[in-house]
Amino acid sequence: MEEVQEQSKNALKKAEKQAKAAAAKAAKATAVPAAGGKGKKGDDSKEIIGITVSKEGNFSQWYQEVVIKAELVEYYTEIAGFYILRPAAMHVWKAIRAWFDERIEAMGVEETSFPMFLSSKSLEKEKEHVEGFAPELAWVTKAGDKDLEFPVAVRPTSEAVMYPYYAKWIRSHRDLPFRLNQWNSVVRWEAKQTTPFLRAREFLWQEGHTAHLTEALAHEEVLQILELYAGVYEQLLAVPVVRGKKTENEKFAGGYWTSTCEAYIPTNGRGIQGATSHALGQNFSKMFEITVEDPEKNRVNVWQNSWGLSTRVIGVMVMLHGDDKGLVLPPRVSRIQVVLLPVGLTAKMSQEDKDKHMIHVKELGSSLKKAGVRVHIDDREGYTPGYKFADWELKGVPIRLEFGPKDAAASVVSYARRDTGAKGTIPIAELSTQVPQLLETLQQDLYNKADEAFRSHRLVLTDWEKVIPALDSRNVVLMPFCEAVACEERIKELTKSEEGAIGLDGLKQPSMGMKSLCIPFEQPKDDGLVLGETKCLNPECSALAKSWTMFGRSY
């Protein structure tokens, strides 16, 4: 995210001014409430602070405002780099957890819970792997006012915590496959700028650690899990991803190979790593002496995998679907799918008529609940419908239903979609079938829109000169690549834009170079790459291309 901030700092003043003017106008019109709680305490007045910048105009600030004001997170001001996950975010995470857990349980993965601390002793066992984490380890050196004899580190990931016990528990090929997963939080004391969900010093994730008898069996699982990760993005979060393999340069240190699913943020054309499933090979099983007797009585090292999915997924979802009004939540993960508002209750109406109408509203709510819809009735008094509309739009609730005396007279309920703003009416008699359908349509439309954006910005290039202009127009590129580490490093250098370059959209582009996102499993067809003939696209490289590799500016 540091680059987003760089971008934002340098964003054209014109765009900023436009955005501010628009925000001020919007605020005047709708009186959006202070969801972030910045207003004076105990003062119930409707403060005018919706999202104050446009998504296009200042993406970084937009993101930070959305996650706070839609009540996904709160900054933990006591300690920098930490965030509080609020119920709207936890609902998304719980939905993901339930979906993923059900599927890995069916595969035979079991849940475990290892301690959060690592001893300095076990860290020394696997120096190579730990080296990358060393600068980010949080060290407990004292208990009460006594110094610990041996300091302990909070886990940044659990290989060194778990694998000594794998060596103890796994004794025969009959114990394989051996598969454990845990849901926990890990701590990486990042020096870099932190951002809610995308980079935090503590984050929630699941980490699966498995052992297999053969490379082939391990390989199969790596891809099964990757498909589940892709499912979390595509089926729950409406985020399309490209499945592939990481290059040597980008794979998990100490592993064998890494599979990944990569998402795309249209607003700035960046790629973002979704989740990774690693084949660890036998590196760790040699380090930790995890061996079994195979059916032929040979003692062999097991083949291991590890795979993790973190709350980063929520950040990707926010960045992709949100708009200038705030958050847009895919129905399948939204805590509230439908907000139902009584409207049109004028001062002229008798209290009896009002009460009658409210009973009717509650009946509608009950029938939706029965149909399995997560509905919330907003019957708060003292707020105008316009204020409430803006409030629920800010919070990303997929569908707003309005029900007033006119609707009652016509036996319909009026609706508005959060994603498109489209409005219409639904006959009351069909409410419990049409609303679930509409939610599914909205879910699918969110996905289709994002998929179209990703597909149209994945450019297959065979001309090096087109690479930087493609990046500056918010594309990721697929190009013939030799897959060599040094070549990839050089490509990063070569694709840095000049400071202050203006993209086709009239906005200043970030100057960062591109890196490889993945080698997609689905390679472009009929596009002229002949293995053993086509050269790597890097003009300074004379090696032959091994694949179409997807490159891009990225998080």
Helix/strand/coil for 272: strand
Instruction: Say whether residue 363 binds its own copies (CB under 8 A).
Output: no
Instruction: Say whether residue 422 binds its own copies (CB under 8 A).
Output: no
Instruction: Say whether residue 136 binds its own copies (CB under 8 A).
Output: yes
Least Å from the CB of residue 382 to its own copies: 9
Instruction: Say whether residue 202 binds its own copies (CB under 8 A).
Output: yes
Instruction: Say whether residue 134 binds its own copies (CB under 8 A).
Output: yes
DSSP state of 411: T
Residue 58 or 194 with smaller CB distance to its own copies: 194
Q: Which of 22, 27, 107, 138 binds its own copies (CB under 8 A)?
A: 138
Query: By CB under 8 A, which span of 20-28, 51-59, 130-138, 206-214 interacts with its own copies?
Result: 130-138
Instruction: Say whether residue 9 binds its own copies (CB under 8 A).
Output: no
CA 542 centroid distance within chain = 37
Q: Which of 12, 20, 46, 165 binds its own copies (CB under 8 A)?
A: 165
Contacts of its own copies in 512-551 (CB under 8 A): none
Residue 80 or 422 with smaller CB distance to its own copies: 80
Residue in the block written with tokens 């985020």: 239
CA atoms of 402 and 344, how far apart (whole Å): 9
Residue 28 or 40 with smaller CB distance to its own copies: 40
Instruction: Say whether residue 56 binds its own copies (CB under 8 A).
Output: no
Helix/strand/coil for 338: strand
Verify cis geometry, omega within 30 degrees of 0, for the bond prior to 436.
no
Residue 213 or 426 with smaller CB distance to its own copies: 213
Least Å from the CB of residue 254 to its own copies: 19
How many CB atoms sit inside 10 A of residue 514's CB? 26
Residue 22 in contact with residue 54, Cβ under 8 Å?
yes
Instruction: Say whether residue 293 binds its own copies (CB under 8 A).
Output: yes
Query: By CB under 8 A, which span of 37-45, 233-241, 370-378, 477-485 interacts with its own copies?
Result: 37-45
Helix/strand/coil for 192: coil
Residue 74 or 227 with smaller CB distance to its own copies: 74
- DSSP string spanning 446-476? HHHHHHHHHHHTEEE---GGGHHHHHHTT-E
Residue 56 or 74 with smaller CB distance to its own copies: 74
Residue in the block written with tokens 């076990």: 122
CA distances from 125 to 160, 281, 499 (A): 8, 17, 44
Is residue 308 within a helix (H) or strand (E), and if so which, with residue range?
A: strand 303-310
Q: Which of 14, 380, 406, 423 binds its own copies (CB under 8 A)?
A: 380
Instruction: Say whether residue 353 binds its own copies (CB under 8 A).
Output: no
Residue type, 394: L
List all residues 6 or more positions away from 545 whose beta carbon is below 8 Å from its beta carbon.
Answer: 480, 481, 482, 529, 531, 534, 535, 536, 537
Q: Which of 139, 257, 387, 464 binds its own copies (CB under 8 A)?
A: 139
Residue 152 or 428 with smaller CB distance to its own copies: 152
Instruction: Say whether residue 143 binds its own copies (CB under 8 A).
Output: yes
Residue 174 in contact with residue 211, Cβ under 8 Å?
no
Angle at which helix 87-107 crosses helix 312-321, to 10 degrees, equals: 120
Instruction: Say whether residue 137 binds its own copies (CB under 8 A).
Output: yes
Contacts of its own copies in 267-286 (CB under 8 A): none
Strands 110-111 and 178-187: parallel
Instruction: Say whether residue 24 binds its own copies (CB under 8 A).
Output: no
Instruction: Say whether residue 163 binds its own copies (CB under 8 A).
Output: no
Instruction: Say whether residue 99 binds its own copies (CB under 8 A).
Output: no
Q: Which of 17, 115, 124, 369 binds its own copies (CB under 8 A)?
A: 115
CA atoms of 129 and 421, how far apart (whole Å): 49
Instruction: Say whether residue 427 binds its own copies (CB under 8 A).
Output: no
Contacts of its own copies in 248-267 (CB under 8 A): none
Least Å from the CB of residue 138 to its own copies: 5
List all residues 6 or more positions away from 298 whose beta carbon is below 8 Å from its beta carbon.
Answer: none
Q: Which of 116, 223, 349, 416 binds its own copies (CB under 8 A)?
A: 116
Instruction: Say whether residue 127 binds its own copies (CB under 8 A).
Output: no
Instruction: Say whether residue 372 binds its own copies (CB under 8 A).
Output: no
End-to-end Cα spacing for the chain: 6
Long-range contacts for 501-508 (Cβ within 8 Å, ≥24 apart)? Answer: 501/472, 503/472, 503/473, 503/474, 504/469, 504/472, 504/473, 505/56, 505/473, 505/474, 506/12, 506/15, 507/11, 507/12, 507/15, 507/56, 508/7, 508/10, 508/11, 508/12
Cα radius of gyration (the chain): 26
Instruction: Say whether residue 102 binds its own copies (CB under 8 A).
Output: no
Query: By CB under 8 A, which span of 118-126, 365-373, 511-519, 532-540 interacts with its own copies?
Result: 118-126
Contacts of its own copies in 178-197 (CB under 8 A): 180, 184-185, 187, 189
Query: By CB under 8 A, which span of 55-63, 236-244, 290-298, 546-554 interacts with its own copies?
Result: 290-298
Least Å from the CB of residue 555 to its own copies: 22
CA 235 centroid distance within chain = 13
Query: Which alpha helices (DSSP H) does 256-400 contain, by range?
Result: 283-287, 312-321, 351-370, 385-394
Residue 87 or 427 with smaller CB distance to its own copies: 87
Q: Which residues bind its own copies (CB under 8 A)?
A: 37, 39, 41-44, 74, 76, 78-79, 82-87, 90-91, 93-94, 110-119, 121-122, 134-145, 151-152, 154, 161, 164-165, 168-169, 171-172, 174, 180, 184-185, 187, 189, 202, 204, 291-293, 299, 380
